[in-house]
Structure formats: C-alpha cells, structure tokens
Amino acid sequence: RLAVTGAIKDTAIEYDDIAYYAAEYFLKNHCDALLERYGLEEKPKDETALLEAIGKKRGALVSGGKINLNKTSAIFIHDYRSGTLGSITLETPAMIEVEVAKTEKLIAEKAALKSVRKKNWKKRK
C-alpha cells in the first residue's frame, strides 16, 4: 500500500508489481471508479484484464498491438496518486480492524515474553 501511494521511492519498486496489487484492491472495493475513469463497459474479470483494458483505452501499445504493461502500470498508479480516480484510501474498515487485532496480539505476546525474561533474570540473582 505504501508503494501505491508513493511513500516508497519509485526507484525501489516495479510499477507492474504495485499496479497488480492496486488493480486487485480496486476491483474488489472501488470498481465503479475504475469503470467511470477508464470508460469500461463491464467489470474486468481480474487485474490482468483490467490493466490490459486500461492499456488499450490509453494507447499504451507496442508493436503487434500488444499492451506495454510497464507504461500501463505507470498510468494506473499515476491516476491513483494524482487523485484522478477519486479520493480513495487503500484500506477498508475491516482491514483496519484485522490489523489492529494483529498488532494487539503481537504487543501482548511481546509483553508475555518480557515478563518471562524478567522472571528468569530475577531467579539467576
């Protein structure tokens, strides 16, 4: 998610990788924004079909009529970052709840380990 937003430098990432992640997320959670922005008739079946449709619509083609996936990915990510797709977050309330629960569990496990280490250290004295 950080790479999609631009928080990680573009030189450290591959646009293709983050575009596939973003496409999967958008298809599940914000499909209407994609259909409207790119003028698609129907929901693509998967992220590959979405990126191919965007490439065709935006003219990101190479010889032989094939899609230039790198250019298409860059276009898609730029559209998200510039707000062209709308004010969309890359988290849902359900995702946040899961992450909070995982974090609380990790904190509790760490506290338990620390308690055990303290007891063992006191026994050695």
Q: What are phi and psi of 7, to 5 degrees?
A: -70, -20
Question: Are 65 and 15 contained in the same domain?
Answer: yes
Residue 87 reports pLDDT greater than 90: no
Mean of the pLDDT values across residues 88-109?
A: 87
Answer whether residue 72 shows pLDDT above 80.
yes
> Is 22 a residue whose pLDDT tops 80?
yes
Task: Kindly write down the DSSP assignment for every residue of 32-82, as one continuous string.
Answer: HHHHHHHT-SS--SSHHHHHHHHHHHHT-EEGGGEE-HHHHHHHHHHHHHT
| Domain of 122, in residue numbers | 91-125
pLDDT higher than 80, residue 5 = no
| Same domain? 9 vs 66 | yes
Pair 112, 51 in one domain: no
83 and 34 within one domain: yes
In the chain, the percentage of residues whose pLDDT exceeds 70 is 99
Domain match, 10 and 21 both: yes
**Is 123 found in the same domain as 82?**
no
For the entire predicted model, the pTM comes to: 0.68
* pLDDT cut 90: percent of the chain above it: 30
Say yes or no: 98 and 82 in one domain. Answer: no
Q: Mark whether 62 and 119 lie in a shared domain.
A: no
pLDDT greater at residue 120 or residue 109: 109
**Cβ(38)–Cβ(20) below 8 Å:** no
Mean pLDDT of 113-123: 86
Q: Are 23 and 52 found together in one domain?
A: yes
CA–CA gap between residue 18 and residue 31 (Å, rounded): 17
pLDDT at 95: 81
What is the tally of structural domains in the chain?
2
Query: In this predicted structure, what is the pLDDT of residue 125?
Result: 66
